[in-house]
Amino acid sequence: MLGSYHTQILERSMNAANLRHRTITNNLANIDTPQFKSQQVVFEEYLQQELSGALGKQKLEAYRTNERHIPFANAGGFAMPQIVSNPNNIVQNNGNDVDLESEQTELAKNQIWYSGLTQLTSGSYQKIRSVIDGGGK
Amino acid sequence: MSLFQGINTSASALTANRLRLDTIASNIANAETTRANFVNGVWQPYKRKMVELSPKSGESFDNLLQAAVGNITGKNGDQGVRVTAIKEDETPFKRVYDPSHPDADQDGYVLMPNVDMMKEMVDMISASRSYEANITALNATKNMMMKALEIR
């Protein structure tokens, strides 16, 4: 129960937020480096695909002869964050395409997302603790 | 995958921008220095210094490990920035007519450093803005780490 699919998704989302934060930090660090190309992290789209089962269709399903056999669901096809570069960004004269304003906005958005995820994770553990304590008996 | 990497990345940029500011300060301080190098019995004026930046290679142990276990796919980011060299500006010196100057030649002309005050001011603002942006990123990293510690 502690390692449920729900908490797994939260954990992977937090890892993605972490990776995105590092990517943005790196973009900001190289804001004046000639020929540097900024990088972005794509994750939400992949997670959406996984949750809607689009990724699940591609993976191998375990053959089950009985309803009560444990399904090997989520045995693969996990949504993983991907680092990409956008070639359509406006490039400055020194070959650098870091946009300070958009990076700062992404940084702020990512922070809110991360703190939301920490609250959700806390909440799910809070529920389990409440059950262990026997509710409000 | 550690958040500390984020702090290191920001810190590398803070160091680089501090060095840029130091270089600009040196350029401004030596804007009138006519005796910087003694070459073949003749004093040469100060040459404007510039900082050369390049991304740090992303081949740290952490990056390679995360790629090997498949936690991240696609090319992983280089982490941080570093100063590779301090270059000298090779544009010609300014020739100013000032016969009373101790370093004036027979015709009364003095070679002055190739420091352009306007350029230095623009560079200075650019460097200090970059510094501020990286401070913001560093504070964001700190806040995220504190948030993660609040999970219980």
Q: Residue B60 burial by CB count (10 A; 0-12/13-18/19+): exposed, middle or buried?
A: middle
> Where does the pLDDT of residue B8 fall: very low under 50, low under 70, confident under 90, or very high at 90 and above?
confident
pLDDT average, residue stretch B66-85? 71
Average confidence (pLDDT) over B72-101: 82
CB contact under 8 A, B136 and A83: no
**pLDDT band of B5, cuts 50, 70, 90:** confident
ipTM: 0.73
**pLDDT tens, residue by residue, B105-119:** 899 999 999 999 999
Q: How far is A130 from chain B (nearest CA, A)?
A: 13
> A94 or A71: which carries more pLDDT confidence?
A94
Interface membership of A31 toward B (CB under 8 Å): yes
Count CB pairs under 8 A between chains A and B. 115
- What's the predicted TM-score (pTM) here? 0.76
* Chain A residues touching B73 at Cβ < 8 A: 80, 82
Percent of chain A past pLDDT 90, that is, above it, reads 29
Look at residue B96 in the predicted model and tell me its pLDDT. 92
Among candidates B13, B17, B144 on the partner chain, residue whose Cβ is nearest the Cβ of A114: B144
Nearest residue on chain A to B12, alpha-carbon basis: A29
Considering only CB atoms, B126 lies closest to which of A26, A29, A32, namely: A32
Confidence at residue A75, expressed as pLDDT on a 0 to 100 scale: 45
